[in-house]
Amino acid sequence: MSAQIIDGKKIAESIRLEIKEATQRLRAEKGIVPGLAFILVGENPASQAYVGMKGKACEEVGFYSITERMPADTPEEALLQKVRAFNEDPRIHGLLVQLPLPAHIAEHKVIDAIDPRKDVDGFHPINVGKLVIGEKCFKPCTPAGIQELLMRSGNDPSGKHVVVVGRSNIVGKPIANILLQKQKGANAVVTIAHTGARDISVFTKRADILIAAIGKPEAITGAMLKEGVVVIDVGSNRVDDPAARKGYRFVGDVHFESACAVAAAITPSPGGVGPMTIAMLLRNTLLAAQDSVG
């Protein structure tokens, strides 16, 4: 079987264009420019790169954005004060504190301090709770991107058996909760498999839709999948490769070649879920700005 390649980059580009147009309308009709604030604590190179990409994406769709850089030894209280200041700032509709934070700062205290109406990451317990009970809320960006990828590639999860591999708060738990709702774009039967399973292939082999979010390079191979499965690979793992110009390359959690031989459709990594995460952050910020006028 030759699998359909789900092009996340292309789908994300078309969403970004839709957001750009909606932003122009919001500005013309209501005089509102969506504003997104980033707080970056410390010098983590991956975090710096992510915040840089997100800031550039804001610029491209016409958002106002500001990045607050704080040193790695910033006291917790100083960070909380910054969060509170952005909560009160009328130019700011969305606030994102880039994770991970330095070890001396309690992540949950910082997330709890964000105004849930500005929590475009969807990490605040109020938004997590609303997601679980199926109320309108900010959906975390990577899971929201996965749902959008499935729908826009013609792979509606309704009535399908979705197997999520991984139980993180950022991907595994929220995507499972999103897809099991009795709602459009969901209504799946969902299984969550994780490192506690003795043999993960018992679960992966039963998936109509397999979502891999485990953070282990190429851990899921074609032999662990059912013929005709739709594969969403959330993984992005840096592996050494002496043949590559930089000495490394990125691979997903799924072994792409062997999975392609059995799958009906598959996302590449890079170029699948990754670009969707930023598109969903922009969408959440636009929704926050639209909601700010009531």
Closer to ligand GUN by Cβ: residue 229 or 281: 281
Q: What is the smallest separation between the CB atom of 141 and ligand GUN, expressed in angstroms? A: 5
Q: How far is the CB of 171 from ligand GUN (least distance, A)?
A: 9
**Part in contact with ligand GUN (CB under 6 A); list of ranges 77-85, 90-98, 153-161, 220-228:** 90-98
CA distance 173 to 60: 31
Query: Which whole-number Å values give the CA distances from 214 to 165, 170, 202, 207, in the listed order?
Result: 6, 11, 16, 16
Q: Which is nearer to ligand GUN, 201 or 250 (CB)?
A: 250
- Strands laid side by side in the 161-165 sheet: 4-5, 265-266, 230-233, 209-212, 161-165, 189-193
Size of the site for ligand GUN (CB under 6 A): 7
Strands 94-97 and 64-70: unpaired
User: Is residue 141 within the footprint of ligand GUN (CB under 6 A)?
Assistant: yes
82 phi-psi bin (left φ>0, alpha ψ -120 to 50, beta other): alpha
Contact flag: residue 97 with ligand GUN (CB under 6 A): yes
Give CA separation, 17 vs 13, 60, 93, 283, in Å.
6, 9, 20, 11
- The single-letter code of the amino acid at 189 is V
CB closest to ligand GUN, residue no: 99
Please give the Cα distance from 87 to 116 (Å, whole number).
9
| CB nearer ligand GUN, residue 76 or residue 156 | 76
- Does residue 284 touch ligand GUN according to CB under 6 A? no
Among residues 121, 148, 218, 233, the one that binds ligand GUN under rule CB under 6 A: 121
Could you say whether residue 99 binds ligand GUN (CB under 6 A)? yes
Among the residue ranges 73-81, 93-101, 144-152, 202-210, the one whose residues contact ligand GUN (CB under 6 A): 93-101
Q: 3-class DSSP state for residue 114?
A: coil
Angle between helices 141-152 and 273-291 (to 10 degrees): 110
CB 240 within 8 A of CB 275: no
- Region near ligand GUN per CB under 6 A, out of 3-11, 92-100, 254-262, 283-291: 92-100
- CB of residue 96 to ligand GUN, shortest distance in Å: 5
CB 32 within 8 A of CB 289: yes
Residue 19 or 95: the one with the smaller Cβ distance to ligand GUN is 95
Give me the residues that bind ligand GUN (CB under 6 A), please: 96-99, 121, 141, 170
